[in-house]
Structure 1
Amino acid sequence: MKKLLIIRHAKASHDSDYEDFDRPLKKSGIKDAEQLAKKLETEGLIPQKMFTSPALRAKTTAEIVAKHLDLPELGFIDEVYEASESALLKMINQFPNQYDFVALSGHNPGLSYIITYLTGDYCNLDTCAAALLIFDTDIWNAISADTGKISWFNEPN
């Protein structure tokens, strides 16, 4: 069985001093990411590997979660930034099969679209929301439309 934890980045600044790629998390976003990390730890949801968009807000969210859960070095995938549903599926299908539980930190609308596509259930992730998808397969390449189900979901308070 493969498990995929999808995390939308926490709340970021909309200050016009920043390019979109470089927008930092707000204080409330940092707090939400810390709370998510604690919730994952409490629930025993510790991925073996975490991949993230290199955009500052997704990267910082992933770093907070990874540090709290004592995860190995993050993997950065440039294409996660502004990725479409089909681009995200291609990435997921290429995850190394040595990992049965992978986390992916990124952006909407792509993350909400891929969850909906993979599960057949409409999903709209709020900032710092997370969804755990499970798949009855041992290879990432077998994951496609309607092959997964949401087994856990969390939104910030």
Structure 2
Amino acid sequence: MKKLLLIRHAKASHETDTGDFARPLKHSGEKDALELAKRLKAADLIPQHVSSSPALRAKTTAGIVTAYLGLPEATYNEAIYEAYDPTLLKIINALPDEFDFIALAGHNPGFSSITTYLTGKYCNMPTCGAVLINFEIDSWKEASSGTGDISWVSEPD
């Protein structure tokens, strides 16, 4: 069995002249990311590995979660930034099979869309929302349309 936790980055500032990739989290976004980490810990949902988009808002969200959960720093995958179903599915299918529980931190609309694709259930993930998808598979290569089931959802208050 494989478990995939998809985390949409927390609320980011739009008042910046740094461009989309370097947008920082708002203070409320930092608080939401910490609250998500607390919910994950309370539910005993601790991923073995975290991979994130390198965009600042996703990187910071992943950093808050990994720090709170006492995990190693996330790895960064540029392909997650602005990715849609075909790219996200390639990323998921290439995840290392040594890990049964992996978290990805990234962006919408891609994360909502891939959740819908993998589970067959419509998903519209809010900022700092998270969804846990369980797969009855032995290898990440087997993840495909309709093979996952949503078992846990978190949305900020």
TM-score bracket, shorter-length normalisation: over 0.9
Distance in 1 between residues matched to 2:3 and 2:45, nearest whole Å: 10
1:25 maps to 25
Distance in 1 between residues matched to 2:141 and 2:30, nearest whole Å: 34
Distance in 2 between residues matched to 1:16 and 1:30, nearest whole Å: 17
Alignment of 1:36-47 (within 5 A): 36-47=36-47
1:151 maps to 151
User: Between Structure 1 and Structure 2, how many residues are aligned?
Assistant: 157
**Which consecutive residues of structure 1, in runs of 5 or more, have no partner in the other structure?**
none
AA in 2 matched with 1:7: I
1:3 maps to 3
SS, match of residue 51 in structure 2: strand
Distance in 2 between residues matched to 1:9 and 1:143, nearest whole Å: 23
Matched, 1:54 2:51: no
Distance in 1 between residues matched to 2:49 and 2:72, nearest whole Å: 7
SS, match of residue 60 in structure 2: helix
SS, match of residue 132 in structure 1: strand
Alignment of 1:115-130 (within 5 A): 115-130=115-130
TM-score normalised to the size of structure 2?
0.99
TM-score normalised to the size of structure 1?
0.99
2:110 maps to 110
Question: Displacement of 1:75 after TM fit?
Answer: 1.1
SS, match of residue 82 in structure 1: coil
Question: Displacement of 1:16 after TM fit?
Answer: 3.8
Question: Displacement of 1:72 after TM fit?
Answer: 1.7
